[in-house]
Structure 1
């Protein structure tokens, strides 16, 4: 299992990558067939990056829940 700091670092990197891809889509809209194909590929990458961010956020939430929940046997 990954450590909390590893998950936080990976989440930060994934969020940065997602932002870069979103910017790429905005900056390259409406430029012909080649751009359409490019944007289709970027859209697939965006979907994957979004899923990774969501997965890492969920994993980080699990760490937070463990730290908030009362200790067993106390």
Structure 2
């Protein structure tokens, strides 16, 4: 194995990560509660809020962990 997959199995992960527009599939409007009030909307735009991936700090930590592992294996 020579690869790593980063992601989420959650059905709503992509819309939160990339953002997008949610529209009703079968109804005339989306219905949900916000602040205790009922809200009806023809569509809702969700802004991108990236959370998946590897930051520069993560990359350093991963490299360090791999280096430590390799040293332990090769001794």
- Higher-Rg structure is 2
Structure 1 and Structure 2 fold alike (TM over 0.5): no
- TM-score calculated relative to the size of structure 2: 0.28
Return the structure number with greater helix share.
1
- TM-score calculated relative to the size of structure 1: 0.29
The one of the two structures with greater contact order (alpha-carbon pairs below 8 A, sep at least 6) is 1
Return the structure number with greater strand share.
2
